[in-house]
Structure 1
């Protein structure tokens, strides 16, 4: 079996009003992990969530994101940005070169609280869970009009995403998740 080389700007792209995802390496390529590049627009907040089976690794390439990867003392349902762990850990402002590892079961989230897009490299194992999730999420976001929260929840239920705080995008998310 040969390896795979994916030049800059190459890969299968999914573009929605919420974010842009470029698949670099997928389960279809023979990989046990998915690897993709994500453009995170200003105001996007993935919301705190967990995965029972998946582990993830995030690496910030450009811009800044607020990130979190710990179990809080109190899992509030509206905002994860104010969470604190039993050891005093809080969300971190992560610039280029920062990374985050998330084992299965660990609450985590990221948001772009700035006025500029951020870019990150993201890996998830096992493949193809996140690939299929993003494919279907793109369909929901591209349907036009408002996003059906019920459809998003059914998608999360199928792909091991236990959402704790809401997914937000756009100017309203920017104004509520800024520091």
Structure 2
């Protein structure tokens, strides 16, 4: 059953999780509002990520290179590769994200939503949460 998680300018609609697929994959639709971005570039060493553009255009910074992703286009992010994303356009952009194998699940996004709802989000707690779920913040470039 789909589950939507709101992180302000980012919305996640979980379609399949590691719990539904026996750990085979996580699948969710992500909507980025204008100027939305992944606040902390990161990598993960336990799963690969495939992104399929649905609407609008998002920009993915993958291994130091910017890639614009429009409807019907895909990008593949191999485990260990630093990446992040942004929506530089004036309208929303959405994409389908598939993590393989499924190790993240929706709980990470729920935990981050809780941290971001605080009056002053704590960067140290955000980093700790990322690490607990296997997202490794990239060192500043």
TM-score by length of 2: 0.87
* Aligned with residue 100 of structure 1, among 62, 75, 79: 75
Larger Rg: 1
Alignment of 1:19-30 (within 5 A): 19-30=10-21
Q: 1:146 to 1:108 in 2, by over 3 A?
A: same
Q: 1:165 to 1:96 in 2, by over 3 A?
A: farther
Q: Between Structure 1 and Structure 2, which shows a larger proportion of strand residues?
A: 2
What's the offset of the Cα at 1:145?
Answer: 1.4
What's the offset of the Cα at 1:104?
Answer: 1.0
1:109-161 CA-to-partner distances (Å, cap 9, x unmatched) read 2111112111110011232424232121122123x313221111111111111
Residue 28 of structure 1 aligns to a residue whose secondary structure is coil
Residue 106 of structure 2 aligns to a residue whose secondary structure is helix
TM-score by length of 1: 0.70
Mapped pair 1:11 → 2:2: yes
Mapped pair 1:161 → 2:135: yes
Alpha-carbon distance between aligned partners in 1 of 2:100 and 2:33, rounded to the nearest angstrom: 24
What runs of 5+ residues in structure 2 fail to find an aligned partner? none
- Where relative contact order (Cα < 8 A, 6+ residues apart) is larger, the structure is 1
Q: Between Structure 1 and Structure 2, which shows a larger proportion of helix residues?
A: 1
What runs of 5+ residues in structure 1 fail to find an aligned partner? 1-9, 71-82, 84-89, 167-179
